[in-house]
Amino acid sequence: MTEVTYVIVEHDGGWAYKVGAVFSEPYATHALASAAAKRAAAEQRVPGRTEVIAYEDEKGQWHEETASGSDRPNTHIIDKA
C-alpha cells in the first residue's frame, strides 16, 4: 500500500505542511497548518470511483488499466514543532 506523509514545518514566514518536496500554502500559525494537513490527509483516504485509465509510456506504447477507487494510500502526519 502507498504511504503519504505530511510533515508540518516552518515555511515562508509561517507554517506549512510538506509532502515530499512540495509545500502547501503558508499558514499564519502552527495550529492552522496542522489542521490543514489533517484535512488533506483525511481526503487522501476517501475512496473514489473505479476508472479505466489510458496512458502512453516512454516508448510511445499506449496502455489501459483499471484504477480501483478503493486503492487509497495510508496517510501519516509528522509534526516537528
Cα 48 to the center of its chain, rounded Å: 15
pLDDT at 61: 96
pLDDT at 80: 74
The secondary structure element, H or E, covering residue 38 is: helix 30-44
> Does the pTM of the predicted model rise above 0.75?
yes
Beta bridge partners of 67: 51
Beta bridge partners of 63: 55
- Quick check: 8 pLDDT over 80? yes
pLDDT at 1: 73
pLDDT digits (tens, 9 = 90+) for 14-72: 999 999 999 999 999 999 999 999 999 999 999 999 999 999 999 999 999 998 889 89
